[in-house]
Chains A and B, each alone.
Chain A
Amino acid sequence: MKPTGIICGLLFASLLAIAAHAVEPDEMLEDPALEERARVISQDLRCVVCQNETIDESNATLAQDMRRLVRQRILAGDSNEAVLAYMVDRYGDFVLLRPRFTSQTLLLWVGPFLLLVGGAFAAARYIKRPVVTDLSDLSDEELVEVNVLMKETDGSDSQ
């Protein structure tokens, strides 16, 4: 090994000791079903020392420890909700990336729906309301009458 290689090797050793890398093989559970649950839970938990990363994708050591803890809780028989609640008990709602539906998050969850409905009402102001929606129910005589009436209105409009 060349000297640069050795230096580089040392650098790797020291840096990699710090930089873990998302989910590691030695963290994973034997049972694929349980491991899958752990992954799902991890994607809803925020790495609290990071900026908007899930613990599932974060390289931070605390995220790694939180992933381990999630798996411990699963092995201890906790349900997914119980594992999330365990974290919330310690870190508060801050730790959840999918905020729970509470009075604090009412606006967050209902907001999009309100915006859509409010927007729909605003948009409806641009839409013409048809006077007669269905002409097929009318008899032939009635249709003739309608046509005559429409012509009359058209005429009176243009004057």
Chain B
Amino acid sequence: MNPELGHFALALALPVALVQSIIPLIGAYRRDAALMAVAGPAALAQMLLIGAAFAALTQAFIASDFSVVNVYQNSHTSKPLLYKISGVWGNHEGSLLLWVSILAVFGAAVAAFGAGLPDRLKARALAVQGLIGAGFLAFILFTSNPFLRIDPAPVQGMGLNPLLQDPGLAFHPPMLYLGYVGFSMAFSFAVAALLEGRVDAAWARWVRPWTLAAWSFLTVGIGLGSWWAYYELGWGGWWFWDPVENASFIPWLTGTALLHSAIVVEKREALKSWTILLAIITFSLSLLGTFLVRSGILTSVHAFAADPTRGVFVLMLLALAVGGSLTLYAIRAPKLEPGGLFAPVSRESGLLINNLFLTTAAATVLLGTLYPLIAEALELGKLSVGAPYFNTVFIPLMVPLVLLMGIGPMMAWKRSDLAGILGRLKGALAAVAIVFAIALALSGIAVVDIAGSAGIALATWLFSSSLIEWAGRVRLFKGAPSDVWRRIRSLPRASHGMTVAHMGMAILIVGVSGSSAWKQENILTMAAGENVTVAGFEITFNGAELIQGPNYESLQGSFSAKRGGSSVALTPERRVYDQPVQQTTEAAIHTTFWADLYVVLGDGPTDDRRYVVRAYFEPFVPFLWYGILMMGFGGLISLSDRRHRIGAPRRAAAVAEPAKA
């Protein structure tokens, strides 16, 4: 592949995308099967063309073809292969190409596996996908072409920002985009349903797998970003409420709400117009995230290419996609058949309250993120809104939600019995009391100790009630082992997935509360041979030496940390990359199951050969990553439920319906 072919394939993908959107729309309107049938092959063609363009750019990066401006600006021959490849999306143009590539893959998946979908719904959904693709292709081709050449070609490239040369960050963007773009499927189906004027249980079943997949990827993507910040930024923070972080977190919150409201559509044929709205909003917020990162409109540590011209283009795309779909919503939603009303105590009411808190939380984070902008537009002056604000308003919204998460899964549809559920949860309440008491006894009674212990007690509530709910389903401890095993196997995967994801959330809460409350730090200067004690670890500094990496030089400190009998070696580094010249800090992290010991080598040596050393004890931080992985894994388990197989015919789904309590 050469870059011109890549460019040509990309240019050809634009008219194909337009064909994919316009012809099937006309076909669906006229009920012309032949016109509608264009959508599938067009989607496949689009995937092949964009795939070819992506392959061409990747090839240029691997081969270090510096005649391509994008490669020249973002790569270097001395980079390891992994970072040559991740360099493809480590820049504005390439990341957009990745974005449309994923979009094309998703579209092709619908075309290939969507045989069970009604023709018109499928044609319209693919048409909407085509429109989104056309918008982004135009954006790439007219403002952000990755295939531009320079002549003569430079002999060496400018290199990739060393902060991006990192395994966590190499896979962060693809995961995030799989999430964002996955939500585009829910969006396309929502718009198709509005055009159709019809939303039913089957619609919800088709949308759910895409939403689940997107949600799982976004969960892991956000987790990877957080993990990277934790080990790379050098002081052990893992969440900053930075605008760009918020931009990925807000669609996660509404996407989580969407996952739950779609269940109500599926089971009760209610909350239809709300679910459609959530599907539109979730993808719109993903687009907003893309816009905020690239426009320079909000200030952020992560801001990409702050370029107003591109900002104008993305804003226009945003206005068209969001404005158009919401206008359609305003016209069509009131005509959707309303569902029945809910009993106050019922599964559907529980999910409704879940949606209330999740969307309020999402709106709150959005409000805080955009408030400086709003204040300025209203001439209220320059303001900053940072972590202290978000922590103050976000946590009170999450506590009731988590309390409800313990009860909700036990509630029956239509009418449930709260007293009975609480009776079954006596064990969970007892566990909460015991864990809270133990946590207080171990930590103390300062305000942070009480807050941290309360967080862990809350997590205990969620974990144990999820366990009790699952145990009740499979009659654990009640039936014969073979009966239990049979029940475990016949319980729908979606139920297992929910339990795993909810337990993952509980573990995440342990990580959040524990690390916020009981982090310990010791910042000091050390000379070789000196000791410092942090949280029972005796840390000895053995000295520092210069070492040579593949494309950096490093000052590597050598520490040994001893607790009890065993000793571990820790080697934090300060690196200076050569292309471009930039310094990074590589913390040394020793992970036990419960906690991390986190050591950073700071300034030095001074004249008397002393170095600044930062040693942190980070309790429960590993639980953040366990929890996030469990949540993502829970999503995937749920995705493997046979009812969610793409295009599974309706009847098969009905057969798989479990006998619900």
Judged by CB atoms under 8 Å, the answer to whether A and B touch is yes
Please list the residues of chain A having a beta carbon within 8 angstroms of any beta carbon in chain B.
1, 4-5, 8-9, 11-12, 15-16, 19-25, 28, 43-44, 46, 50-54, 57, 92-99, 104-105, 107-109, 111-112, 115-116, 119-120, 123, 126-128, 130
Q: How far is the CA of A130 from the CA of B389 in the complex (A)?
A: 40
* B574 near A94: Cβ-Cβ < 8 Å: no
The verdict on B303 contacting chain A, using a C-beta distance below 8 Å, is yes
Interface centre among A9, A46, A116 (most CB of B within 10 A): A116
* A57 near B237: Cβ-Cβ < 8 Å: yes
Interface centre among B233, B355, B386 (most CB of A within 10 A): B386
The verdict on B523 contacting chain A, using a C-beta distance below 8 Å, is yes
Task: Give 6 pairs: A residue, B residue, CB < 8 Å, sorted on A.
Answer: A46-B386, A104-B375, A104-B381, A108-B367, A112-B367, A116-B397
- Chain A residues whose CB sits within 8 angstroms of the CB of B576 once the complex forms: 8, 11-12, 15
Partner of B392, one of A12, A54, A98: A98
Give 9 nearest A-B pairs by CB, closest first: A97-B386, A98-B388, A104-B380, A8-B553, A128-B341, A51-B299, A112-B364, A94-B382, A116-B360
* A130 near B360: Cβ-Cβ < 8 Å: no
The verdict on B581 contacting chain A, using a C-beta distance below 8 Å, is yes
The verdict on B368 contacting chain A, using a C-beta distance below 8 Å, is yes
Please list the residues of chain B having a beta carbon within 8 angstroms of any beta carbon in chain A.
233-235, 237, 240, 242-243, 270-271, 299-301, 303, 341-344, 349, 352-353, 355-357, 359-360, 363-364, 367-368, 371, 374-375, 380-389, 392-393, 397, 523-525, 546, 548, 553, 555, 574, 576, 581, 583, 585, 602-603, 612, 614
Partner of B523, one of A23, A54, A92: A23
Tell me, rounded to whole Å, the shortest Cβ–Cβ distance linking B272 to chain A.
11
Q: How far is the CA of A115 from the CA of B358 in the complex (A)?
A: 11
Q: How far is the CA of A148 from the CA of B344 in the complex (A)?
A: 24
Q: How far is the CA of A112 from the CA of B395 in the complex (A)?
A: 12
Q: How far is the CA of A1 from the CA of B271 in the complex (A)?
A: 71
- Chain B residues whose CB sits within 8 angstroms of the CB of A28 once the complex forms: 523
Tell me, rounded to whole Å, the shortest Cβ–Cβ distance linking A107 to chain B.
8
Q: How far is the CA of A54 from the CA of B614 in the complex (A)?
A: 18
Contact A12:B303 (CB < 8 A) given known A98-B389, A126-B342: no
- Chain A residues whose CB sits within 8 angstroms of the CB of B343 once the complex forms: 127-128, 130
Contact A52:B397 (CB < 8 A) given known A126-B270, A126-B271: no
- Chain B residues whose CB sits within 8 angstroms of the CB of A51 once the complex forms: 299-301, 303
* B546 near A108: Cβ-Cβ < 8 Å: no
Tell me, rounded to whole Å, the shortest Cβ–Cβ distance linking A23 to chain B.
6
Q: How far is the CA of A4 from the CA of B465 in the complex (A)?
A: 60
